[in-house]
Each structure stands twice: as C-alpha cells, then as structure tokens.
Amino acid sequence: MKNVSEHPKDAGVTIVTGGGSGIGAAIVCGLLSRGRPVLVVDQSIPSAGLDIPSASAPVFSIEEDVADPDAAKKVVAEALRVAGRIEGLVNNAGIINQDVPSLDLPIDNWQRVLDVNLRGTFAMSQAVGNAMMSAGGGSIVNMASTAGLGGFVRRSAYGPSKAAIINLTSALAVEWGPLGIRVNAVAPGYVRTSGLDAAISARYLDEASLVHRTPLGRLGREDDVFQAVEFLLSPQSSFITGTTLAVDGGWSAQLNA
C-alpha cells in the first residue's frame, strides 16, 4: 500500500473499512481516482498494495479489526493525524462466516458476524460522528445488502446484521441530521467479486439462475457499487439522508412479488 506522508491538513480524508479487497478496494481506488484522499482500514492490507490509479489522491492505511472495541478510536486518531479532518466514512467491512443450515450454526459464528457487521459499523460511525460534529458535518455510507431486505437461505446471521444496519442508518440519520452529518446505506445484490466467483465455481450458487432472477439481466459489477457510494458521499446528494439505495438490478423489487 502506497503511503503518502505529506498531505494538506485541510483537505480531509474519507475512511473506507474493509478496503483491502473486493468491493472495498474498488471503492478505495474509485475515490482516489476522483481526487479524494482515503484512509484504508482492514484486518490485513495486501503486501503488494492495491491497484492504485497512477494519477490519484493520497492514500493511507491502518490494520485494524473493526470488531475490536478500541479499533474505531485508533482509526479516527490516525485519520486526524494524517489529514486533520474526516469528510467521509464508508462502513464496508463485513463477513458472512456462514455456510451451514441455521439449525447447525454455532452461536459463536453468529455472534462474530454481528460483531463485525453491526457493532463495527456502529462503533466506527460513533467515533467518526463525534469528529464530524466538531468539524461541522460529513457523510457516512453504510454497506447493507439485499440479504437485509428479505430472507435468504443460510444467511440467518448475515441477513439480520444487514437488516439492523438499514435500521441503524435511519436512526443515525434522524439523530445526526441537525449536526450536519448525513447517513445513508447502499444495499448491493449479487456483485461479481472473487468471493461470488468462488461460490459459483463450487456450485453453491448458479450464475444462470441469478442472472435470470435479476430484472436487468446481469450480475452487478464492483463499479456499480462504487458509483452509488460516490454519489451518497458527494454534495450531489446533499438533501439525502436516511436512505438505503438498492444496487441490485431490480432484485429486491421482486422480493414480495
């Protein structure tokens, strides 16, 4: 990971948790290509670094597990040290950690999913929210999922954690709106990532069925999610808060059909 030590203190930084791989890495690279300085937070930052655009803004990194109660304070302290101000937060870090029927799911596995996905999102939002309040506001984007909008097989930990994130997004938006802090969420559907490709290769998921079930007739792309996140972070969405934007090709529009 490239680390730039010199950075104007008034430019601000956007924190992206779970930014070391997958959709998180795509969000990091997309924001950098738009000239937004980024602090990448992940349990393990790739030693080879991310595929950073050649002409990009400064990027910093810190290795932390968002489920650690002390992680959020450390991340905020690092963000303020390198940039002086936090202008955005993308709570992307999350795990599924579940590939067994709910009747056989160990409670420790269930709790771990809630700790990373929900507690991590709240802890990061709380710590960053305090910093944003002092600076006059900012924008937070939480990563939900279509699994939080309806029931999915073998997702009795992941789905509830994402449903709770959707509700948390609304609660924080209402409470923090007067402070100038906007809080929204993005709910991706099936997005082409290495993890999805592995599930398809293992025949846990059937690509043809997923495409057929999606009204727009294709799987999502990482850039589809980035575009939504970028919009919700930007001034173009300045009158939007408390919203969960489904990026799923119409999948959730059929959940109750």
Helix (H) or strand (E) holding 128: helix 120-135
- What is this structure's pTM? 0.93
Owning domain of residue 102: 13-247
Q: Got the DSSP string for 21-57?
A: SHHHHHHHHHHHHTT--EEEEESS--TT-----SS--
- How confident is the model at residue 27, as a pLDDT? 97
In-domain check, residue 4: no
Residue 2 clears pLDDT 90, i.e. is over it: no
Active site residue 204: no
Asked if residue 99 is part of any domain, the answer here is yes
User: pLDDT tens digit string along 178-229?
Assistant: 999 999 999 999 999 988 898 899 888 899 999 999 999 999 999 999 999 9
User: What is the reported pLDDT for 256?
Assistant: 58
Q: Report the alpha-carbon distance of residue 5 to residue 242 in Å, rounded.
A: 35
CATH of the domain at 118: 3.40.50.720
In a domain, 3, yes or no: no
Residue 1 falls inside a structural domain: no
Sequence letter at residue 168: L
How many separate domains does the chain show?
1
**Dihedral sign computed on CA atoms, order 211, 222, 157, 167:** negative
- Classify 237 as helix, strand or coil: helix
- Per-residue confidence band for 5, with pLDDT thresholds at 50, 70 and 90: very low
**pLDDT band with cut points at 50, 70 and 90 for residue 116:** very high
Tell me whether residue 236 is in a domain.
yes
In terms of Cβ atoms closer than 10 Å to its own Cβ (0-12, 13-18, 19+), residue 166 is middle
Q: Looking at residue 153, what is its pLDDT? A: 82
Active-site position among 158, 176, 226, 251: 158
**Residue at 136 is within a domain:** yes
> What number is the average pLDDT over the span 127-133?
97
C-beta separation of 90 from 165 below 8 A: no
Burial state string for 123-158 with b = 16 or more CB within 10 A and e = fewer than 16: bbbebbbbbbeebeebbbbbbbbbbbbeeeebbbbb
Inside any domain, residue 52: yes
Residue 255, domain member (yes or no): no
